[in-house]
Amino acid sequence: MAKNTKWTLDKIKEGFRAFYDQHGHYPTSHEVDEYAKLPSSRQIQRAFGGLPVLRKQLGFGDEDFTKGEYSSNRARIINQRAHKVEKEVYGYLIKTFGVEFVHREYFFNDDKRNRTDFYVYHKAGTFSVDVFYPKNPRIVNGCINSKLKTYVGLEIKYPTIFLMMNDLITDAQIGNLMNNKKNKLKPHQSVMTMGQFKDFCGSVKKKV
Let me know if 24 is exposed, middle or buried by CB neighbors in 10 A (0-12, 13-18, 19+): exposed
Residues 34 and 103 in one domain: no
Read off the pLDDT of residues 47-104 as tens digits, 9 standing for 90 and up: 888 888 888 888 876 555 555 554 555 556 556 777 789 999 999 999 999 999 999 9
Residues 82 and 62 in one domain: no
Residue 175, pLDDT score: 94
In a domain, 85, yes or no: yes
Pairing relation of β-strands 125-132 and 160-164? parallel
Q: Evaluate the CA torsion angle 86, 149, 128, 118 in order and state its sign.
A: negative
Angle at 203 between CA 107 and CA 147, to 5 degrees: 30
Q: Evaluate the CA torsion angle 13, 16, 22, 24 in order and state its sign.
A: negative
Among the three residues 36, 66, 96, which one is the final residue of a domain in this structure?
66
Residues 40 and 90 in one domain: no
The closest alpha carbon to 119, from 109, 131, 132, 105, belongs to: 105
Minimum mean pLDDT range among 11-20, 66-75, 107-116, 127-136: 66-75
Segments forming the whole domain that contains residue 199? 78-206
